[in-house]
Chain A
Amino acid sequence: MRIDGLHIDGFGLFHQFTIKGISPRVTVFLGQNESGKSTLLGFIRAIFFGFPDGRTNENPYPPLAGGRHGGNISLKNQQNETYVVERYPGHGGGKVDVLNPDHTHGGKEVLTALLGTDNRALFKHIYAFSLSELQYFESLNTDSVRESLYSAGAGIDPKSLASLKSMLEKKDADLFKPGGNRPKINQLTSRLSAIHREMKDLQGAVAEYDEIKGQIVRFSREIDALEDRRTEVTLKLKKVENLIDIQPDWSGLTTAQNRLKNLEPIESFPLQGIMRLEGLYSRIEALELERLTKQEELQRQESELPSLSNDLDMLQYAESIRRLQKDQGHYEALIKDLLSLEQEIPLHEQKFNQDLTRLGPWWTEKQVEDFDLSIAAREQVRHLRERLEQARFEAQRKKDSLETVFLGKREAEERLERLDEPSVKDHTRLLQSKGFCRELRDILLEERLAKEAGRYLDERLKDLEEEKKMISEIPFYQEAKWPFRIIMGAWGIGVLFLFWFGRYTGIKWPLSAVVGSLMVGIALWIISAQIIKKNLRRNQVTQNRSFTLVTKIRELESKKNEAQTRMSQIQKQKTSLSTGLSLSEPPTTVLMEQMEQDFTDQMSQLLLWLDARRDAAQTEKRYHEAQADLKQAESDANHIRNAWLAWLEERHLDQALSPEGVLETFSLIESCKEQIKNLHLLKSRRNSLEAAKAEYLAFAEPLFEIYHKKPKTDHETLHDVQDLIQYFTESEKASQKRQILLNEIRSSRASLDRIDEQIKRIKKEIQNLLSSGGAANEDVFRKRAQTFQERNELMKDIRTYEDRIRRLSGKWGGMKKVIQELLIFKMEDLEAQKMAYEKELNETETALEHLKQNRAGLDERLRQLVNDERISLLRAEEEGLKEELASLSEEWITVKLAQGLIKMAGARFEKERQPKVISEAGRFFKQLTLGKYPSIVAPIGEDRIEVMCMDNSRKEIAHLSRGTAEQLYLSLRFGFIMEFSKRSGSLPIIMDEILVNFDMDRAKAAVQSIVDLSREHQVLYFTCHPMTAELFKQVDPAIPIIEISQGDVKRACL
C-alpha cells in the first residue's frame, strides 16, 4: 500500500492543499523550518489513526489558514486500485470514511485492512517517526532499551510496557509482602489473628452462663429458706407486740368496770337535760329584751304621727295637675317654635321679592306659578340652541372652503400662464415619429454589421482561394519503382559476382564486401521504404485539406449571397422610414438619436401643458360650486334664527335672550316657585301652633283661678304651672308617709302581745323538764345529770376497750385466749420476748439482703452475658475482613497473573521475533556504518543489545556515539519493518529529518539504505536541508524533490 496523493482541507498552515501523483518509491519533501513538513507528518498520522484528543500532548494542528479541519489521502494497493481515506475530527479521533475503488464507502475496518494494523503507536514509532522519536532511545537505560526493542518490534509505546510493569510491581508491594506489616493483606491477617484471639477469650461465655445459673439457683434456695424463717419470726414478734399493745387496754377495762360499780344507778334521764334547761333560760332572757325594744319603738312612732299633716284638698285635682305636668314640655317647645316662625317668615318673603325683581318688573307671583318649566320646554330650548350653532358652524365652514378653492383656482391659472402653448398637440403623432426614429436607428446598425460581415466573408474567401491555389501547386508524389528495381538488380548481380569470385578465387575480402553490400542494400531499402511511406502520407493529407477548402468556400459564398439579399431589404426599409419622418438628408445614427430625443422632449412638454389646462378648468368649476354652497348655508341660518324669535315671543320672553339666557331664566323661575311653596308651609305651621297654645291655656285657667294665679305673659304662665306641680308633689309624699307610720304602730302592738305569750310557754317547759329528771329544783337536776353522764362515759370506755382487745386478738386465738395469756405473762416478759425476736429478724434480713445482692450481681452478669455483643461485633468484623482479604487476595493473584503474562509473553516474543529483526537490523546497520559494525547481537536470555565490531569485539549501546546509536535505532526499525511487512504487507514509511546527526558518508549510506528500502516500501522523507535532498538526488537522480513553502508546494529541480 502506498500514498498516491493527499488533499488537506484545513490542517495547520495548510488550506486547500493538494499533492497528487506521489512516487511509489522515495519522495523528498524539502522545506525550511515552519514550512509545514512536520504538519504533513501529523496530517498523515491523523488521517490514518485519528486526530489526537486533549488527553495527549500531540499537536492537533488546528486549521490556522482556514478550511475544515481534516482532509483525505489517496492510497493505492498492490493492484494499483485507489482508495480515498477521509477523516475529520470527532469522537474517538474522528470518523473515517474510505471511498473504495468501486465507489462504495467503508469505514475503519477497510482502513485497518489497508494498513495491516490499527496500532497508532506502531505507526508512530516504526513507520512515521521524527528525530525526536528516534532520539527517544537515547535517554533510556539498559532495561528500558530492551523495552524499547520490544516496542520497536512490539508496536507499543516504549513507555507503556515499563509503566505497566511498574504499576504491577507497585500494586504487588501494596498488597502483600512476606514478613511485612504495612501491605494491606499483611495488615488484614494481623487484625484477623487478633480477632481470633479475642474471640477465643470470649467464647467461655456459655460455660460461665451455666455456672452462674447454678449459683443463682443455690442462692435462690437459701433466700427462700431465710424468707420462711423471717416470716415465722415476724409472726411471733407481731404476736408479742400485739400482747404488748393490748396490755394498756386490758388495764383500762378493769379500771372502768370497778368505777362503774361505785356510781348511783340512774336508769333514765332526759337526753341533753342540762343543755336543754340552759337553752330555755336563755330564750326567756332574749324575749324579755325584745319586749323592751318593741315598747320603745312604739312610743317613738306614736310621737311622730301628729307631725305628718298636709293639704288634702290638693289631691282631688291630682288628675288635672298631672296632665298639666305632662303637657308642660310640649307647651315650652310650642312657645319656642312660634317665636322662631315669627322671625323666619319675613325673611323668606324678602328673598322671594328680590328674585321676582330679577325676572323683571312685570313679573308677578301668579305668572311665576303659571310658567311652563316642563322637561319638554327645556328640550325645545336645547334643540333650538343646537340648530342655531350648527347653522352658524356650517356657514363658517362653507366660507372657509370658498376661500381655499379660490386660492387653488388662482394657482392653477398662474401655472397655465407660465407654460408655453405647444405647437403640436397630437400625442399619438409624436409617439409614432419617435418609433420611426428607433426603427431607423436599428436598421442603420444592422446595415453597418451586414457590411462588416460582407467584408469579412470577402476576406475569408480570398484567403481560402489563395490556400486552395497553393495546395493545387504542390506536386503530387508518383511512386517510380522501376529505376529503383533496376539499380537494386544490378547491385544484386554485382554482389553475386563478388560472392562467386570470392568462392572461386579463395580470396576472403569479396565475401566481406558481399556481406557489407548486403547490409548497405538492406539499409538503403529500408530508408527508401520510409521515404515512400512519408510521401504517400503527405499526398493523403494534401488531398484531404483540398477537399475541406472546397467545402468551406462553398459555405462562405452561400453566406455572402444571403448577406447581399438582407442588405437590399435594409435599404428599402431605410427609404420608407426616412419618408415617414420627412427627412431631407440621408439619415445617420446620430441624427436619429437626436430626433428621437426631440420627440421625447415635445411629448413631455405637451403632457405638462395638458395637465395645467385641465387643472385650471377643474378649479374654476369648484369655485362656482363653493359660492352656491355658502349662499345656501347662510339662508338656512336665518331661517333657524327666525324660529327662535318666534318661540321667545310665544312665551313672553325678551327677544334679546339667547338659549343660554332662557335656560338661566328657567332656573330662576324654578327657584321662585320653590320659595312660594315654602312660605305657604311656614304660615300654615304658625297657625297650628297658635291653636295648640290656646288649648293648653284654656285647660290651665281653672287651676290658676283656684290657687289665685294670674299670669300675663307666656313666661309667667310657665312659672305658675311649675309652682302648682311642685306643691302637688309635696302633698302627695306626706300622705304616703303617714299611711306607713300607722301600719308600723299596728305591727308593734301585735309583737308585744306575741312576746308575752312566748315567755309564759317557756316557763311551763322548764317545769316539765325538772320533773322528768326526777328533781324538784334546778340544783338537784344538775347533780343527777352529772352522775348519769359519768356512768355513760365509763360504759362507753368499757365497750371501746373490749372492742380493741377483741380486734387485736382476732389473729391470735380470740379475746378469751389472749386475756388468758395476759393473765399469765407480765409486761416485762413480753418486752424481753419482743427484743429477742427483733434481733433474730434483723439478722435474717441482713443475711437475705446479702444473698439477694449476690444473686442480683449474678443476674446482672447473666444479662451481660446474654446481651454481650462483643462476639457478634468481632465476628462481623472478622467476616468483613475475611471478605476484604478474599478481594485483596484476588487482586494480588490478578497482579501475579498479569506479571506472569507479561513475562512469558515477552520471553516468547523475544524468542520468536527478535532474531529475525536483529539479523535484518544488523544488515542495515552494517550498511549505515559503512561496514564498521558488521552485525548486532542480542544475547539469548539477556536483556541487552550489543553491536559487533570489525575485530569481532562487542560494544554496548552506552558506548556508542550519539549518531551511531541513532543509526542503530534506525537499523532496528528497518529490521522490524522488513520483518513486519512479511506478515502484514507494506506500509509507507515517513521520516522527518532523521539524518542530522549523521556524518556525510553515513548519511549517504543511510540514504542508500532508504532508497533500497523503498523498493518494497514507499518512503516520504521530510528535510529542511537542501544538502540532504541533494544526497538523495545523487543516489538516484529520478527521486522527485517536492518543495514546501508556507502551505504551498512545487516540484523542485536540483
Chain B
Amino acid sequence: MSTPAAPARRDPPVDPRGVRFSAALTTLVLALVLVSGSGWLLGAQALVFALGSIAGLRFSPYAVLFRVLVAPRLRPPTEREEAAPVRFSQTVGLVFAVIGTVGYLAGLTGLGIVATAFALAAAFLNAAFGFCLGCELYAVIARFRKNNQQGATA
C-alpha cells in the first residue's frame, strides 16, 4: 500500500485474452473453494490476487502461465487494454478473498462462502462475458473521487 497511484498507471497495457484466461482460472479455483470449503485454497487465491494487485499484473502466476503456455500459441494481440482498472479489479478480488479466507479458517463458514461467491461472480462475468465488474467500479470510483475534490459542485 506504500506505492502511490502513479506507478500503477504506468503498467504496460495488457492483452485482454490474458485477462480472460486469468479470470477463467480464478473462476475454477473459486468454484473448487466453494465445493471443498477449503480456506487454504482460498488463501492461495488471495496470494495470486495480492501478487497481481500489489506487485503488478505481470507478476500474477496466472499471467505468467498465459505468457509461457498460451500466448505463444496465439496470434499477437490486435488490441490492448489499460492495466490500471484490471489491477484494481485484482485488489477488489483480494479484499473478498482475504475476508473469505479469514471466515473459513475462523470457522465462520457462512462468511467464507458469501465472500467467495462475490469474487466468483466477478471472475465468472469476466471469463464468460468479458465484462470486468472491478473495472466498472474503478470508473465509478474515479468519478466520485473527482466529485469530492471539487466539493462545492456536488
- Is this pair of chains taken from one and the same complex? no
Which residues in A have some Cβ–Cβ distance to B below 8 Å? none
